Amino acid sequence: MRIVDLLDERSICLDAKVSSKNETLDKAVELMNKSGKISDIEVYKKGVYAREEESTTGIGEGIAIPHCKSQSVKKAGLAAMVIKDGVDFDSLDGEPVNLLFLIAAPDTKDNIHLDVLSKLSMLLMDEEFTANLKAAKSTKEFLKIIDDAESDKDEADEAKADVSAQQGDKLVLAVTGCPTGIAHTYMAAEAIEKAAAKAGHKVKVETRGSGGAKNVLTAEEIEKADGIIVAADTQVPMARFNGKKVIIVKVADGISKADELVAKAAAGDAPVFSGADSEKKEEASKGNAGHSAYKHLMNGVSHMLPFVIGGGILVALAFLIDTICGYGSTGGGNFGSCTPLSAFFKYVGGLAMGLMVPVLAGYIAESIADRPGLAVGFAGGIIAASGNAVAAAAAGNGYLHWFTDGSLNFQGFQGIVAKYGFMNGGATVSGFLGGIVAGFLAGYLVLGLRKLCDKLPAALEGIKPTLIYPVVGILVVGILMIFVFNPLIGVINTGLASMLSSLASKNLLVVLGLILGAMMAIDMGGPINKAAYVYGTMMLSTAAELTTNGAALTDPAVQACYISMAAVMAGGMVPPVGIALACLLFPKKFTKAERNSTVSNFVMGCGFITEGAIPFAAADPGHVIPATMAGAGVAGALTAVFKCTLMAPHGGVFVFATVGNPWLYILAWLIGSAVTCVLLGLLKKNVTE
């Protein structure tokens, strides 16, 4: 594919008359639409404007390259305008724009067009090329100028020697990247290459565009480099530059200040980069700590998502298998593992879902502190997911003998460790909220350790990542999680359980249903959710005791127990379904990755797997959690109003055979899901991809 293949004669205007930036963009979008490559012109136009709001695409020298990657683009394309009188475009150099190329990129995995567009971006750095385009008398001549220049560029690239064969005493390396990875990435690369060639230096530029990293710098080249330029507005792997002189700037500076940057790099006029300083440098380039924290959080969420979806679907299949086999109303607490096949699915799916909190914490820490943070974050996440009871459970009978056997009755510090580290039971699981805390703790702890270890002798460099960081990091995070954060959650759980019991004893079932439903949606599988669920299953046990002692199923006390369990499950089914509905009705509020999980969220919601909502809540807790709490609370309250009962502890739609007033129960669930959906549409802001 060549550049001219993306251009349509109908999308070229050689004498555009425009008076403002907005009029210019509107005209360019209209030209693009004439080529038939846009399915929804309004959606595409909004995308072009959204990209322009991030930063101007007027790169200077009279050139602008607005662009948009969107689902509204059916096929990659270009539109071109020559504006002889020029137009104010808020360009980087303040000069009017005379030549504009508008890029339309489809939102697909097929990125063949990106190489073509990058080549155009680099050609536009040639003043003779742009002058010829502005002087073209016809669209055919315009296309021929591009085709000839592209052929010359291809020949020059094939003839270009490797770095070692280049002439020059100095070696300058660079990395360029912009958020969309379409134009600025390659224009900065071309500008730096030209500046280095003009100054007589060897040069190699790694581009990190939408098509992935190209021309990647080798360890040998980095070692020999006199200076390195990182001109990027996106994340670049920096650990490899540790100890080298590195200049870090925006990608726009790579285009407009290439000569200055190359001169500084070649002269070694740059600070020595330290991995321990990477967080500080990155936050300075991004603008604020909030943006940085969000990036770290999203790194954890994106890695966690496959575990939630894969494990959740397998668990839902286990419930479906047991229902098909006739255990829907008789499986009781074993529902989901009543047959060998269902037990297999539930076991594998449960293990996968059990990894989601450790993965969340591990990759938050990895984003903050690179690879050394990964192990420490994983360890903190496991403690958050397991709670302090894990060590006692591993010992079978626990460690009660420490307190019953006088010879082993530890005192002092060992007594504190025994009592608070192992004897708090299952009330210390801090779930995904604890996982987030553990991830940030681990990441910044390792950053601190790296800074402290900078003063150690060079001979100890090799043992830092394999011994010092993991041992000290895991120990400190373990102490903080076991003795501070997990017990704090335990106190909250104990208080919640007492409150629920008080409401049940006073027969405030509607209020109880409201609270139980809302609790299921606060941390979606975390400690508060589990407190509500444990209370619901406890009510089933109470109902069994009452009926064993002669109470009828219609007895108000028995009914209250079953209503409590019904409220719990309705509340737990709302978040994934409400979010899935919102993804369908309000797609602009969610990223592409989030929209792609719509079907899996419907499935998990139907299977009472609330954890499907966790990635959404972790990414935007301030808006998602209030919306899911409100919807789940409404569903829980309505189940009590409708006097719906549930006799099974799990299963979602697969155990509706055990539900009293099933149609009203479904209505309560759907109303709650609709409330969550509408609130998400109102509360969440549109996302820009």
Active site residues: 67, 178
Contacts of 606 (CB under 8 A, 6+ apart): 316, 573, 577, 652, 653
CB 137 within 8 A of CB 203: no
Tokens of 38: 């846009």
* 576: nearest Cα among 619, 541, 617: 617
Q: Quick one: angle between helices 556-585 and 662-683, nearest 10?
A: 40
CA distance 421 to 415: 10
3-state secondary structure of 66: coil
SS (H, E, C) 485-546: HHHHHHHHHHHHHHHHHHHHHCCCHHHHHHHHHHHHCCCCCCHHHHHHHHHHHHHHHHHHHH
CA distance 686 to 111: 25
CA distance 603 to 606: 5
Q: Is the dihedral of CA 495, 501, 505, 511 positive or negative?
A: positive
3-state secondary structure of 73: strand
Q: Which residue has the tokens 């079907």?
A: 599
The CB-based long-range contact list for 49-54 (8 Å cut-off, 24+ gap) reads 49/25, 50/688, 51/180, 51/688, 52/21, 52/25, 54/179, 54/688
Tokens of 570: 């309705």
Phi then psi for residue 228, to 5 deg, are -130, 135
Q: Which residue has the tokens 């270890």?
A: 453
* 275: nearest Cα among 233, 303, 246, 297: 246
Half-sphere exposure for 605 (CA within 13 Å, toward CB): 27
Tokens of 385: 């997911």
* 3-state class percentages of the chain: helix first, strand second, coil last, to nearest 5: 65, 10, 25
Cβ neighbours, 10 Å, residue 296: 24
| Eight-state DSSP code of residue 279 | H
